[in-house]
């Protein structure tokens, strides 16, 4: 199997050290595996992805983190994963030690962790038991909900085909082919841009996503 990392690697870890808000543009590194994990981050706007690279180049995106959630909170003193922005993003950085001191922060973190755990559980079901088609539909559905209830007929895809593939445990070719088939079957409609996709009938999409 020869998968993943079909894109360029992100640049050096942008120095996000100051406490407080930091603005990064698209495709900037937030932290790298092996880096010191003395700080963690709250996403205030935008989105980041957390991923791991296997030594033969396979890449798995394990989480997409949206505003309100956190990333980079490791147990050990080194990050095991890499993290980079998917779009221009504002992060708030906290010292890990702040967790022990601030009740407010801790409460906020518990909420986020619960949320993330639940999302990860769902994603595990996708990866373990869903077909390529079901995974794609599930992701689009989630992005649709994430986008806020704007009765949108179109959803913006904040990620490239390769990133989608690496998140869904597929290849970019399979992602392309599957989207094409879904469009052909009218489950989706082509968006004005390729980073956008239309949802003619959300119920049909839900069915195709195999909501349990």
Partner DNA sequence: CGCCTGTTTGACGACAGTCAAATTAGGTGG
Partner DNA sequence: CCACCTAATTTGACTGTCGTCAAACAGGCG
**Which residues would be at the binding site for DNA (CB under 7 A)?**
1-3, 7-8, 131-133, 160-162, 169-180, 193-195
In the block, which residue shows the tokens 């906290």? Answer: 94
Residue 151, interface with a second copy (CB under 8 A)? no
In the block, which residue shows the tokens 């079909």? Answer: 6
Residue 43, interface with a second copy (CB under 8 A)? no
When the beta carbons of 35 and 169 are compared against DNA, the nearer one is 169
When the beta carbons of 16 and 168 are compared against a second copy, the nearer one is 168
Is 138 within 8 Å of 186 (Cβ atoms)?
no
Distance CA 121, CA 99 (A): 25
In the block, which residue shows the tokens 């996000």? Answer: 16
When the beta carbons of 90 and 176 are compared against DNA, the nearer one is 176
- How many residues touch a second copy (CB under 8 A)? 49
When the beta carbons of 28 and 79 are compared against a second copy, the nearer one is 79
Quickly count: other Cβ atoms within 10 Å of residue 75's Cβ.
7
Residue 5, interface with a second copy (CB under 8 A)? no
**Which is it for strands 196-198 and 59-65: parallel, antiparallel or unpaired?**
unpaired
Angle (CA) 164-78-85 rounded to 5° is: 30
**From the list 3, 10, 147, 183, which residue makes contact with a second copy (rule: CB under 8 A)?**
3
When the beta carbons of 25 and 80 are compared against DNA, the nearer one is 25
Range in contact with a second copy (rule: CB under 8 A) among 12-20, 123-131, 173-181, 197-205: 123-131
Q: Which of residues 100-119 bind a second copy (CB under 8 A)?
A: 100, 103, 106-107, 109-110, 113-118
Distance CA 35, CA 82 (A): 9
Output the DSSP codes for 152-191.
-SEEE--S-HHHHHHHHTS-HHHHHHHHHHHHHTTSSEE-
Binding site for a second copy (CB under 8 A): 1, 3-4, 50, 52-56, 58-60, 62-63, 73-75, 80-81, 99-100, 103, 106-107, 109-110, 113-118, 120-125, 127-131, 166-169, 210, 212
């Amino acid at each position: 199997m020869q998968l993943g990392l079909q894109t360029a690697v992100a640049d050096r870890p942008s120095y996000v050290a100051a406490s407080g808000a930091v603005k990064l543009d698209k495709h900037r590194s937030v932290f790298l595996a092996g880096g010191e994990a003395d700080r963690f981050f709250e996403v205030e706007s935008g989105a980041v992805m957390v991923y791991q690279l296997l030594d033969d180049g396979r890449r798995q995106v394990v989480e997409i983190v949206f505003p309100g959630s956190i990333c980079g909170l490791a147990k050990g003193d080194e990050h095991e994963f890499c993290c980079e922005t998917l779009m221009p993003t504002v992060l708030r950085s906290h010292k890990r030690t702040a967790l022990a001191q601030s009740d407010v922060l801790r409460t906020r973190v518990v909420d986020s962790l619960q949320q993330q755990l639940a999302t990860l559980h769902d994603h595990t079901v996708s990866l373990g038991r869903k077909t390529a088609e079901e995974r794609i539909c599930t992701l689009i559905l989630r992005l649709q909900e994430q986008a806020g209830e704007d009765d949108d007929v179109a959803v913006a895809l904040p990620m490239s085909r390769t990133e989608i593939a690496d998140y869904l445990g597929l290849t970019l070719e399979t992602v392309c082919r599957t989207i094409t088939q879904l469009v052909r079957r009218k489950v989706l409609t082509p968006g004005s841009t390729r980073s956008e996709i239309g949802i003619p009938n959300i119920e049909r999409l839900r069915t195709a996503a195999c909501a349990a």
